[in-house]
Structure 1
Amino acid sequence: MTADLHNARDELRSTLNKCSMYETNIDALKLQLRCQSQNCTKLDEKLKRAFEEIDNLTKQKDDLSIALSKAKIVLKRKTDLGSQAAGTIECIKGELNEAKKIEDQMNERLRKLNKDKEKVKQMLSERELDVVKLECRLVESTNECKKLLFLWI
């Protein structure tokens, strides 16, 4: 029996040594699990910050897209207005050219009317001179008639 006890005691020691090794392994695994849990917590915080950053960047992208759309609308409107302005300028140029032609025609008519006016003035002066000559002849004729009449009387 003592041999059985010795064997049982040796087995018990061997089992206790194995238990001690298992407990050491369990403690090491617990420590490793704590470290990994801390790492997971840190990674989770980094992941949350990354998602927040992604959300912020997405919001900024959306804001920039809206601003870009508005800028495109403004640019299109300004381009359209520029095209309209160019068309309006061409139209005004055409009207100015037409007005210039009309002005040239009117100036030509004014020059002709001035020439005609000068001719009329000259003719009027000549007529006035003729009237003065006629008046002189009338006076002379009247005087001559008076002389003749005197002579007849």
Structure 2
Amino acid sequence: MTAYEYLLSYHIKPSVQRIAIMDYLLNHKTHPCIDEIHTALCKEIPTLSKTTVYNTLKLFVEHGAAKMLTIDEKNACFDGDVHPHAHFQCKVCNKIYDVEIPQNLSEAEPFRKEGFIVEEVHQYYKGICPECAEKGLMNN
């Protein structure tokens, strides 16, 4: 699915900027922050401002087309993959990885029994990624 089609499927009116930002999110699984997206796209769209990137990402999140991650308390990152999954942040290299939700933790049944309506689940894990562990890099 193209970024244009993806935006339409979430009832978002496509524009050049919106398509470029969504295309970036869908093709870069790095969980970028606003600055990263702006830096990457301002080369091809010189008139793109950080405010436009911010407002566009906010719109995507409001429509459910993207998720805002707050795993890193200093920066909000964004994910174009909206299927239920968890995130792992390496404390050494700071990369954020998509991880599957362990089956026993994904059940919202206890909440439903109590009358809660679960609309979102955010699971964040922090530790050392396999690449940094293999290199013997530990956060001191």
Do both proteins adopt the same fold according to a TM-score greater than 0.5, normalized to the shorter chain? no
Higher relative contact order (CA 8 A, sep 6+): 2
Structure with bigger strand share is 2
TM-score when scaled to structure 1? Answer: 0.16
**Greater C-alpha Rg:** 1
Structure with bigger helix share is 1
